[in-house]
Amino acid sequence: MNPTAGAYGLLAEFSSATALLDAARAARSAGFRQLEAYAPMPVEGLVEALGSPDKRLPRLALIGAVIGGVGTFALQWFSATAIYPINVGGRTPAWPGLIPSTFEMTILGAALAVFFGVLLRSRLPRLYHPIFNDAGFSAASSDRFFLCIEAADPQYDEPRTRDFLERLRPLRVNVIEA
């Protein structure tokens, strides 16, 4: 059986953020598209080197804020005017008194949208991932930087891609089992 048949991709390990950044740029300009870079912290310019940054979160926050705010205002309005009219004081609808709760829930709606948005868009939680099959990958959360060219890339060809990665002067290159 061909040993590369079930491969997820090739993983190159680097010792610094700048080496990873250079490698990501080189791989991108060599035409690779199914790339992922792993680092123990945010690296400036890395997302741009791999493609484009994710700019959806602010929009999600807006949607969450609108749902939270409009929903809470509507809940108060209809419960106090139609479902259980409270005909006292400033009379319903005394809308200014409904604003504090509306404000709090607007913020909460936006925050929930951001929090779940960031997790879902990063495909988390996902406890198993092929990348964890690499024995040295645990350093990715401490002080090592990794570039993975995935087998799904149209240009992927194990020996040639490995040669390409070796030329980027990594600490090591390893095949990842799927």
DSSP characters for 64-85?
HHHHHHHHHHHHHHHIIIIIS-
Q: Which residues lie below 8 Å from residue 178, measured CB to CB, with a gap of 6+? A: 6, 7, 8, 130, 151
Is 26 an interacting residue with respect to another protein (CB under 8 A)?
A: no
Structure tokens at 4: 């590369």
What binding mask, one character per residue, do residues 119-158 give for another protein by CB under 8 A, x or -?
x-xx-xxxxxx-xx-----xxxxxx---------------
Is 70 an interacting residue with respect to another protein (CB under 8 A)?
A: no
Q: How far apart, in whole angstroms, are the C-alpha atoms of residue 4 and residue 23?
A: 23
* Bridge partners (DSSP) listed for residue 11: 148, 174
Is 79 an interacting residue with respect to another protein (CB under 8 A)?
A: yes
Considering only 3-11, 26-34, 90-98, 161-169, which stretch makes contact with another protein by CB under 8 A? 90-98
Q: Shortest approach of another protein to residue 126 CB, angstroms?
A: 4
Nearer to another protein, 10 or 37 (CB): 37
